[in-house]
Amino acid sequence: MMRGIIVLITAIMSIFFLGKKQYCHHWSSLFTIVLGVFIVGLVGILASNDKNDTDSTKTPTTVTGIVLLLIAQCFTGAQFITEEKILAGYYLDPLLVVGLEGFWGCVYYAILLPIFQ
């Protein structure tokens, strides 16, 4: 659920790095998405504060998880913006691009997985 914040991160990065303009309907949609992600994150933190549980390490773990997830979303947004910047001048079939990304991802994992095992 928290992965929905990638929309906001990518929109902000596209303003700074690509010079794109966001219109009112974009901002209202982004506000709605941020509100939803905030509610999901808040419920995750509040749900970890179970009254019957005496273990107090759950809340810092949940907060750490949310922070790490937001950092990961920043990297993903940077990837989206970089791809758009590099490939903007070319016409590429979307299915070919997705297929090549999947193919090379499988090749990388086929090489790295035995090494890390």
Q: Convert the pLDDT of each residue in 44-94 to its tens digit.
A: 778 776 655 555 555 677 788 878 988 999 999 999 999 889 988 889 898
Mean pLDDT over all residues of the chain?
86
pTM: 0.67
First-to-final CA distance of the chain:
30
Domain boundaries, the chain: 2-90
pLDDT value for 74? 92
* Two structure tokens written together for 24: 């009112």
Spatial CA neighbour of 8 closest among 77, 56, 71:
77
| Runs of H (alpha helix) within the chain | 6-18, 24-47, 58-87, 94-116
Residue 115 has pLDDT above 90, yes or no: yes
Percent of the chain with pLDDT over 70: 89
